[in-house]
Structure 1
């Protein structure tokens, strides 16, 4: 639970922020018109042209649909707004001296024909997809009434596969076109989520705070400022100026999820307050098929209930400041506080079960966000984000001599002299990790002309950790503070030779410096632990290009040579099931993508989209998780050379606003390509044959897909109501848990083929103000597994209530 002191700190800081921003307000000396432009579905519209008649004064909306016109003389004017695919908008505006007018403009979609080609208004997700980068974008709007979270939204995108340790709150492994873990970076509104802390993960984020999710596959735009190896995910939250969205759901395994999201903006002063609150709880007491062990011997295999897997988390996020001012389009100060605690049922595998191990964490993060278009000069856009994370986490294993089996039965472990063992369940510890992390990201873009522009990014990250174990205060490794400094610089040039063709060239520099400790000469008289430094520098470059062969047929290609520096978890470990590896090096990759997409609209009655892409990766020193099936511990290491060959396809069909049908499928062949490996051991150090050469990497799905279908009936029984019914199908082909060439045919560890079905039904009335929905996941109660052969929840039910204005 979030501590009382944390809540008090949030309230005090929030009041200070509100007071300071109110004192900073002032009246402009000239008349001004500002506001927001959106579509009839509520999506913000960037790139809308606005002109004030008779003054030759105009502007265009930014990425969030905001605009501002300054230095307007007193008088009566006609304001015109226009955008391709939308009906033109006109409004008479009476302007008085020094007046500030706020307008919210809604454009209606229009369909018309040019040489037999149908052109219609483009949604925010459609505009993202049409970038030169290989990117998938999905709107979360249709999922607002479901109990889905951020990871559920992403798991329905082609090329994406999310592996989980178990139920709500479990660790996840995000895989994108063969790359996983921290090789894929996550952002929220373009802001790195690296420093959000362990108490705020993808499984915690409610779908109601998300507007859309953009998944960049392979090549990552410079403006995201990251050292991602295989792609990036940008979660875009609801940026409406005024709204309220509240929901509560209850489901199987005593699962409860609540969220409250909203914003208020003063149309006269531009003062705004935005907030998100969400809470998650689950006992995760679903049934699993497990081995029953007595006296270190397997005596039975039985269906049992998980008994030590409770999870709860809470987060509050507040921002306040000003928007659409002369000095800033956005100037927002914020605070984010989150906390969680989790009972640990097992380690990396289900081989050993625990009944007393706990983990918890708390984070407090003050933030600053600033952006301004046309700063000091026309065409110069600047944005800055900074955050400081103070977090504390604990790993607790303090039971003495107690052992559990999967029936929840306790046994006492004794020493040879009949005394109760002093050992913990895994290893006796009460470790507290105090971590501080500072992140700052600066973006600047300059339009050289209507067809070319430059973009610059500088990202800085500093991480520092102190550890102390009350059960083992003399732990020498904890005497060495651990720190990491990472910097990324990027420069990109974008050029559009003509309206059909767009090209972007870019380069990046990566810097890393880590301070930690290392044990030398293990088991020798000279065994010791010493402080070490690890400094690394790499660079990258690439291009992205797109060409419209026809208005409805788009081709894309991109290439990138890039690097990814190790993350703190990978170098320092986590104090429990992940060991440190201070020698871990950066991974490098050459990524090539080529794709195509075809879209056809027939009189707004039938809409069809078909897409496909090919992926080729060659990665050196790939960072991967080393797993032993019989051990709960893992660590990270470098794999000399790997190759990824992949292809994916997607299909989407819509009939009016009544019926939709979609599917996607992914095949990815990820193989170890190193012929020789360097082995360091007591029996002999040197290069030796790699027996894994040519085999697929273990524990990574290689063939998977999903499909969905839905029916929506409008104006059912009463005006402004709708009834929706949705079906989801998921498929994962069987894959190996360990290297495929190891073991005999009968005892290979294989995660079996998995097929599951989900259903949801929802009813809305008063134009979506009140909503009720019900879901059933894994309808046929199929036994589903994920990484390391961990069993996922069986059939579950949930209902959700939602209110929005």
Structure 2
């Protein structure tokens, strides 16, 4: 794994030495839990013009697939399980109800303390229904006043600005903090190749490998969060009221491939979320810890498809007088808006029975109501989305952890409860001669259990094993649809998976040098996997269950550090994901039984070299890095069907990035220059959805703090 995912310390003023030591201890404690986890030190990222997707895509076993540039759709895959099977949390709170604006990739790295990535088996303390793994972002909890601001400008008129600050009074504990960010990009990068065509006056594609710029793909997003309350007092570790507001507005350039071109389609979304949090260690009695969170949020999203023209890749109008651009032959002008109202409550209780033995209980309850409206569209297929639909989830976990043999052997066992109720609408015949609105009510409850163990023979070695029988409940978009291209699917079943992981971790200290080795194997046996089905002639699709899937694989990483001037790291992952459904729903033998899963790579690898001058009082620091990312080519459809020479495939990806950072004396200010995709290669994560080529940027960051007190 990259070195910034392993380092335990950060560069802070000398007065904050105790803060640094405690942060290092926290990172080390997380790494030694009984579950497969990779920890990314956020402090090592703050001088880099990086987004979270690119950071995590470089970790072993991880794959982040994007459909374009800034603001485009993306999907995480961990050890072969992808999509909604991977859950996202921020400070222990699920992010799935916060909308697309407040997504993980929009969160600036200068507000992040660390990122924990759990692969497969996920601790019950997170309180979610993560089937394939979880990404947990922990924001900064610095116990001092500070200001951290950054701004970057890059290719395609890309701007990123972020500011984070806190005012803390140690005598009363009063705390006021705020962070915000603004992202903008024209995303007008060049695309070429298959389906990127312009016809001549006879309707035939113009010969040649022409390049065209995307012209309706701009993206703008803004978010702000303010917290006020008290921290580190005798009666509360945290009592904070917060208010979060975010908004995005973007163009929709293409459909599922670049053969579908849109010139006027837009999407906008906004989030409003007030919340309150109370946390206290040794609450009422010694050893009892409580953490309570409650929030109300409102997400409103609108898809605007009111254009009367169709466009080609040159941006020219080729047809006038059409009824919108989406939905194929079902096209109609539309102004569909959905509004989700969610009430959320999270409660965590932990109690230390005796030294080395703890028990914890976590409950997460979410109640979502979706309402839709469309002032233009009147087609009958839109009727179900105009009436209210509901999705309620309650997820609980109970865990027990025991540290034995003077802390050298840690065991954790847990049980989880997953329950949901849903009401989704369908417009169809209900035994009569006329169609009517039918409400399907579903209710499901299932259990999950798990066990994890870690053996530490000495301070430099770890042996881990974990197993979990996990479940995942359908999410709002999967079950209720989006009112445009995704139909609702009221009959969806919860996903189930048996997950197993084993790993060996070795640290070899060599004086001023250090070598870290890690190897692991994983196994997943999944049923009822929720998968977005193939689109129909109307340009719409709905989620469906794939009954049986099995994945297994190996991942390995090596990292070398010379603390004076050099860091080198590399990792590789091989995964074998296969369809294990023997018979189709009609009872016929499945011709793709035991075939490799379509649209999924088997081999991924990353490497990075970083050179730097040592950080010393009053001296300048320069850091230079070069990295590379490799993904093996893979087929869009089932590999065993059709002629391999003519089958649709996602080509091999091999991309290099480079950057240099200059930190001024005192490290209060730094300048970073980076270039991604140095060789301007044509790269894809998804079939015929080209990502940006060469991207150059410059970032300036300023950090000011008053470290006068210790944690």
Q: Give the TM-score taking structure 2 as reference length.
A: 0.92
Query: 2: CA distance between counterparts of 1:600 and 1:235?
Result: 29
C-alpha displacement at 1:519, in angstroms?
Answer: 3.8
TM-superposition CA deviations, 1:117-158 (whole Å, max 9, x none): xxx995533321111111011112222122111212211211
Cα contact 2:374–2:386 (8 A) shared by 1: no
User: Structure 1 residues 40 and 425, CA, compared in 2 at 3 Å: closer, same or farther?
Assistant: closer
C-alpha displacement at 1:199, in angstroms?
Answer: 1.2
Between Structure 1 and Structure 2, how many residues are aligned?
Answer: 684
Aligned counterpart, 1:730:
629
Query: 2: CA distance between counterparts of 1:449 and 1:771?
Result: 47
C-alpha displacement at 1:628, in angstroms?
Answer: 4.8
User: Structure 1 residues 715 and 131, CA, compared in 2 at 3 Å: closer, same or farther?
Assistant: closer
Aligned counterpart, 1:540:
448
Aligned counterpart, 1:589:
497
C-alpha displacement at 1:40, in angstroms?
Answer: 7.1
TM-superposition CA deviations, 1:375-400 (whole Å, max 9, x none): 11111100011111112110010012
TM-superposition CA deviations, 1:406-445 (whole Å, max 9, x none): 11110225xxxxxx34454543210111111122110001
Q: Which runs of 5+ in 1 are unaligned?
A: 1-38, 45-88, 90-102, 110-119, 414-419, 679-685
Cα contact 2:681–2:693 (8 A) shared by 1: yes
Do structure 1's residue 203 and structure 2's residue 110 form an aligned pair? no
Aligned counterpart, 1:231:
133
Match of 1:461 among 366, 370, 375: 366
TM-superposition CA deviations, 1:456-489 (whole Å, max 9, x none): 0111011111101111257421342111000011
- The answer to which of 184-193 and 502-511 deviates more is 184-193
TM-superposition CA deviations, 1:748-781 (whole Å, max 9, x none): 1111111010000010012210111100111111
Aligned counterpart, 1:515:
423
Aligned counterpart, 1:256:
159
Aligned counterpart, 1:189:
91
Cα contact 1:40–1:107 (8 A) shared by 2: no
Aligned counterpart, 1:306:
214
C-alpha displacement at 1:694, in angstroms?
Answer: 1.1
Cα contact 2:422–2:443 (8 A) shared by 1: yes
Do structure 1's residue 282 and structure 2's residue 179 form an aligned pair? no
Do structure 1's residue 773 and structure 2's residue 672 form an aligned pair? yes
Aligned counterpart, 2:580:
673
2:392 match: secondary structure: strand
C-alpha displacement at 1:577, in angstroms?
Answer: 2.6
Aligned counterpart, 1:376:
284
Q: Give the TM-score taking structure 1 as reference length.
A: 0.82
Query: 2: CA distance between counterparts of 1:590 and 1:469?
Result: 42
Cα contact 1:507–1:540 (8 A) shared by 2: yes
1:744 match: secondary structure: coil
Larger radius of gyration: 1
Query: 1: CA distance between counterparts of 2:589 and 2:666?
Result: 66
C-alpha displacement at 1:702, in angstroms?
Answer: 1.8
Aligned counterpart, 1:783:
682
Query: 1: CA distance between counterparts of 2:486 and 2:89?
Result: 24
Do structure 1's residue 246 and structure 2's residue 134 form an aligned pair? no
Q: Which runs of 5+ in 2 are unaligned?
A: 1-7, 705-711
1:681-696 counterparts in 2 under 5 A? 686-696=586-596
Match of 2:81 among 179, 197, 218: 179
Aligned counterpart, 2:72:
170
Do structure 1's residue 626 and structure 2's residue 533 form an aligned pair? yes
C-alpha displacement at 1:348, in angstroms?
Answer: 2.0
Aligned counterpart, 1:77:
none
Query: 2: CA distance between counterparts of 1:490 and 1:297?
Result: 61
Cα contact 1:351–1:630 (8 A) shared by 2: no
Cα contact 2:10–2:44 (8 A) shared by 1: no
User: Structure 1 residues 296 and 614, CA, compared in 2 at 3 Å: closer, same or farther?
Assistant: farther
Query: 2: CA distance between counterparts of 1:362 and 1:166?
Result: 21
Cα contact 2:262–2:325 (8 A) shared by 1: no
Do structure 1's residue 292 and structure 2's residue 197 form an aligned pair? yes
Q: Which runs of 4+ in 1 moved over 3 A?
A: 39-44, 120-124, 293-301, 420-426, 519-529, 627-634
- The answer to which of 659-668 and 248-257 deviates more is 659-668
TM-superposition CA deviations, 1:568-624 (whole Å, max 9, x none): 011112223322211111110000111110001122x01111001110010011111
Aligned counterpart, 1:106:
18
2:687 match: secondary structure: helix
Aligned counterpart, 1:49:
none
Query: 1: CA distance between counterparts of 2:182 and 2:663?
Result: 24
Aligned counterpart, 2:297:
389
- The answer to which of 202-211 and 759-768 deviates more is 202-211
Aligned counterpart, 2:707:
none
2:106 match: secondary structure: coil
User: Structure 1 residues 304 and 421, CA, compared in 2 at 3 Å: closer, same or farther?
Assistant: closer
User: Structure 1 residues 185 and 657, CA, compared in 2 at 3 Å: closer, same or farther?
Assistant: farther
C-alpha displacement at 1:291, in angstroms?
Answer: 2.9
1:688 match: secondary structure: coil
Cα contact 1:347–1:577 (8 A) shared by 2: no
Aligned counterpart, 2:240:
332
Do structure 1's residue 270 and structure 2's residue 173 form an aligned pair? yes
User: Structure 1 residues 725 and 737, CA, compared in 2 at 3 Å: closer, same or farther?
Assistant: same
Query: 1: CA distance between counterparts of 2:453 and 2:627?
Result: 34
1:633-712 counterparts in 2 under 5 A? 633-678=540-585, 686-712=586-612
1:138-157 counterparts in 2 under 5 A? 138-157=40-59
User: Structure 1 residues 757 and 633, CA, compared in 2 at 3 Å: closer, same or farther?
Assistant: farther
Match of 1:530 among 413, 434, 438: 438
Aligned counterpart, 1:80:
none
- The answer to which of 238-247 and 421-430 deviates more is 421-430
Query: 2: CA distance between counterparts of 1:156 and 1:666?
Result: 11
- The answer to which of 697-706 and 294-303 deviates more is 294-303
Higher RCO by CA contacts (8 Å cutoff, separation 6 or greater): 2
Aligned counterpart, 1:322:
230
Cα contact 1:697–1:739 (8 A) shared by 2: yes
TM-superposition CA deviations, 1:523-552 (whole Å, max 9, x none): 995544311111111100010000013331
Query: 2: CA distance between counterparts of 1:690 and 1:296?
Result: 41
Query: 1: CA distance between counterparts of 2:615 and 2:238?
Result: 39
Query: 2: CA distance between counterparts of 1:630 and 1:137?
Result: 45
Query: 2: CA distance between counterparts of 1:630 and 1:613?
Result: 44
Query: 1: CA distance between counterparts of 2:12 and 2:119?
Result: 24
Cα contact 2:271–2:297 (8 A) shared by 1: yes
Aligned counterpart, 1:8:
none
User: Structure 1 residues 701 and 766, CA, compared in 2 at 3 Å: closer, same or farther?
Assistant: same
